[in-house]
Chain A
Amino acid sequence: MTPSTIELTPTPEDRRIARHAAAAIVLTVAEAAIPLPLPGVKPGLANIVTLVVLARWGWREAVWVSLLRVLAGSLLLGQFLAPGFFLSLSGAVASLLVLGIAVRLPKRWFGPVSQSILAAFAHIGAQLVVARLWLVPHDGVFYLLPVFALAAVVFGLVNGLIAARLLRELEARSSKGGAGATGEDVEK
């Protein structure tokens, strides 16, 4: 076998992104097994990972993790390039943009719960716009807005609380374990 001429050396950052993205993908796939009453209303558990990454490693890594999750998750679920994929992608992009702003809010007042809910609203907003412009060219899609808005508040709150909780425990662990433990935290 000829040795490969291209040598890719993953940086610790790459490994971290891959690990977090893997955790997010697991949550996406697990969530797909939950039966839901309405198409489009999902808990979005993978966003817990995005929130944790955002708080610990910054916005750029959160973008990587989130987009990788959308891509790989859709491949695993057979949704790649299907309408659902573009809805996920538009939602994810809008959420990330809002998160980029929300993370600058004063930390004393606004925590992961605020970020989670704001991102959830951005998510449904972008999805409704894409659905209206492309999939269902009729104002009827907005009829479901109240349902989606309520889901955004409820699931945004739950995801935000779980993320806040994880962050608290991860911080407690890394301060106990010393400097070396920070890169090795485990999701879930």
Chain B
Amino acid sequence: MKRKLGDWWALLRPGDVLVVLAGLMVCGLAVRSLWQGGVPDGAVVRAGGRVVAEVDLGRERLIEVPGPLGVTVIEIQPGRARVASDPGPRQYCVRQGWLTQAGAVAICAPNEVSLSLTGRSANYDSLNY
């Protein structure tokens, strides 16, 4: 057991190092693709119970949704979405801020508008604050 670490290192051939690195890369990819529950990939906007917009979270945009009280503005950014403004009296859905997890929902009840995030592997069916 007096052997040095370098002695073991000498047993590795150049290709072996590559195989080890490739193996670690497979681990990394597996973690990224299998253990990333909860990352949202899309948003669904409903008004009066009907889906008015289904968008992906790839690029920024503003969606204006008309309701009984006025216009609710939904803001989409890469990886997140929020209700930017709403004519409702208590502003609960606006104050919820940015939604970042799949399954998260913001509901503007007075104006009958809701925003929910969807994802391939949601950790929660529905998430509210």
- Using a CB–CB cutoff of 8 Å, the interface residues on chain A facing chain B are 105-106, 108-114, 117-118, 121, 142-143, 145-146, 149-150, 152-153, 156-157, 160-161, 164-165, 168
Q: How far is the CA of A70 from the CA of B126 in the complex (A)?
A: 48
Q: List 10 A-B contacts (CB under 8 A).
A: A110-B13, A110-B15, A113-B12, A143-B35, A146-B27, A149-B27, A153-B26, A157-B20, A161-B8, A161-B12
* Interface status of B125 (Cβ within 8 A of chain A): no
* Interface status of B24 (Cβ within 8 A of chain A): yes
With contacts A146-B34, A146-B35 taken as known, whether A153 is within 8 angstroms of B24 at the C-beta atoms is yes
* Interface status of B127 (Cβ within 8 A of chain A): no
The 5 A-B pairs with the shortest beta carbon distances in the complex, nearest first, are A109-B15, A153-B23, A110-B15, A113-B16, A164-B11
Specify which chain B residues have a CB less than 8 angstroms from the CB of A150 in the assembled complex.
27
- Using a CB–CB cutoff of 8 Å, the interface residues on chain B facing chain A are 8, 11-16, 19-20, 23-24, 26-27, 30-31, 34-35
Are B26's CB and A113's CB within 8 A?
no
Give 4 new A-B contacts, CB below 8 A, not counting A117-B16, A117-B20, A149-B30: A105-B15, A113-B20, A121-B26, A146-B30
Are A149's CB and B26's CB within 8 A?
yes
Specify which chain A residues have a CB less than 8 angstroms from the CB of B15 in the assembled complex.
105-106, 109-111, 114
Residue of B nearest to A164 (CB): B11
With contacts A114-B15, A143-B34, A145-B34 taken as known, whether A165 is within 8 angstroms of B8 at the C-beta atoms is yes
Specify which chain B residues have a CB less than 8 angstroms from the CB of A118 in the assembled complex.
19
Specify which chain A residues have a CB less than 8 angstroms from the CB of B30 in the assembled complex.
145-146, 149
Q: How far is the CA of A168 from the CA of B13 in the complex (A)?
A: 13
Are A161's CB and B19's CB within 8 A?
no
Residue of B nearest to A153 (CB): B23
Chain B interface main SS type: helix
Are B23's CB and A113's CB within 8 A?
no
Q: How far is the CA of A160 from the CA of B15 in the complex (A)?
A: 13
Chain A interface main SS type: helix
Are B23's CB and A110's CB within 8 A?
no
Residue of A nearest to B19 (CB): A114
Specify which chain A residues have a CB less than 8 angstroms from the CB of B31 in the assembled complex.
146
Are A153's CB and B13's CB within 8 A?
no
Q: How far is the CA of A19 from the CA of B41 in the complex (A)?
A: 57
Q: How far is the CA of A105 from the CA of B16 in the complex (A)?
A: 11
The residue in B23, B34, B35 that gathers the most chain A C-beta atoms within 10 A of its C-beta is B23
Residue of A nearest to B31 (CB): A146
Specify which chain B residues have a CB less than 8 angstroms from the CB of A109 in the assembled complex.
13-15
With contacts A113-B16, A146-B35 taken as known, whether A121 is within 8 angstroms of B23 at the C-beta atoms is yes
Specify which chain A residues have a CB less than 8 angstroms from the CB of B34 in the assembled complex.
142-143, 145-146
Q: How far is the CA of A112 from the CA of B16 in the complex (A)?
A: 8
Q: How far is the CA of A106 from the CA of B16 in the complex (A)?
A: 11
- Distance in angstroms from A163 CB to nearest chain B CB is 9
Residue of B nearest to A167 (CB): B11
Are A113's CB and B24's CB within 8 A?
no
